[in-house]
Structure 1
Amino acid sequence: MTSILFRFIANAVALAAAVWLVGDITLGEDDASTGSRTVTLLVVALIFGVVNLIVKPIVKLFALPLLIVTLGLFTLVINAFMLLLTGWIAGEDRFEVDGFMAAVLGGLIISIVSWAVNLVLDRD
């Protein structure tokens, strides 16, 4: 149970970092309050976690030949598509990724930050 909570927190922190660092990724309305944006971030982190839990393994299975040929670099493209899918599911008023290159950069940032947060939080 704590592992799920750690992953949820890591996803939320990583998404916040991607929103902060990439200008083409927006979270909620610009004039929204901090509490409203925090709730939106938590909902988007939950959606992102479910997408990564259900959709990502299926996509990786079908993309296995490309993953092997590119020595795993195609994972960046898969992460970008998962971020775009999350934006589509959440809706443009909550979370918007404007363009594929923003999604690739955001996916890279999310991967690095969530790895670092999981490294710090998961002390088994």
Structure 2
Amino acid sequence: MKNFVVKTLANAGALAVAIWLLKDITLAGDNFGHEVLTLILVALLFGVVNVIVKPVVKLLALPLFILTLGLITLVINALMLLLTSWLAGKFDLSFDVDGFGTALVGALIVSVVAWALHVVLPDDKD
């Protein structure tokens, strides 16, 4: 359970950095508390997308993974960010990623920040 909470907080932090750095990734709320709750819900949704959809897409893209020496992973991460944005709209969460280029840069930011936060934050392996 602790590992799940740590990963969700790391995803929320990484998404917050991407929202802060890129004007085309937006998160809206009535007040600060509502924005934080929306961010945590979007991070949970992003985690679910990464656990359920991403492995299937990576398996289907295995030949491209080999051909591009793993660079397709960044494209897959961008697609997962776009899927999260689309699903957030279906759940009335005010999270929007405007376009594939923004999603690609956002996925790079989210990947780097989430990795750094996973290194710093404790998990069940400690």
- TM-score interval w.r.t. the shorter chain? over 0.9
Distance of aligned partners of 1:93 and 1:6 in 2 relative to their CA distance in 1, 3 Å threshold: closer
For residues 99-114 of structure 1, the aligned pairs below 5 Å read 99-114=99-114
Q: Which residue of 2 aligns with 1:22?
A: 22
CA displacement, residues 28-61 of structure 1 (integer Å, 9 cap, x when unaligned): 25xx210110011011001000000000000000
Question: RMSD over aligned Cα, in angstroms?
Answer: 1.2
**Secondary structure, counterpart of 1:59 in structure 2:** helix
Q: Which residue of 1 aligns with 2:44?
A: 46
Paired residues in the alignment total 122
Q: Which residue of 1 aligns with 2:70?
A: 72
Once the two structures are TM-superposed, the CA of residue 93 in structure 1 deviates from its matched residue by 5.5
Q: Distance in 1 between matches of 2:65 and 2:8?
A: 26
Identity of aligned residues (%): 58
Runs of 4+ aligned residues of structure 1 deviating over 4 Å after TM superposition are none
Task: Output the TM-score relative to the length of structure 1.
Answer: 0.94
Q: Distance in 1 between matches of 2:55 and 2:4?
A: 17
Q: Which residue of 2 aligns with 1:61?
A: 59
**Secondary structure, counterpart of 1:122 in structure 2:** coil
Task: Output the TM-score relative to the length of structure 2.
Answer: 0.93
Cα pair 2:38 2:93 within 8 Å, conserved: no
Segments of structure 1 that go 5 or more residues without pairing to the other structure are none
